[in-house]
Amino acid sequence: MTEPTRSRAVFSTEDFSLIRTAVGDYLQKVKDQPESVKYANLYHRLGRLR
């Protein structure tokens, strides 16, 4: 029986910072729309990944 291959990270730590910046910018553009809550939650979750 073979061992499962180890999963590799898709994003680096630096990527999360870049994604958080992009989401923050987009959040300002959709702040008056209903989906802005989802983007705000994502923005805050990305901030906790440091």
* Chain segment 1-50, per-residue pLDDT in tens: 788 888 888 888 899 999 999 999 999 999 999 999 999 999 999 988 76
pLDDT of residue 41: 96
CA separation (Å) from 38 to 14, 18, 25? 22, 18, 14
Q: Does any domain span residue 7?
A: no
Torsion over CA: 28, 31, 33, 38 (sign): positive
Range of the domain at 21: 13-47
Q: Does any domain span residue 35?
A: yes
Q: Does any domain span residue 2?
A: no
Specify whether the CB–CB gap between 20 and 43 falls below 8 A.
yes
Specify whether the CB–CB gap between 41 and 32 falls below 8 A.
no
pLDDT of residue 4: 83
Number of domains comprising the chain: 1
CA separation (Å) from 39 to 3, 4, 5, 8, 11? 38, 35, 33, 26, 19
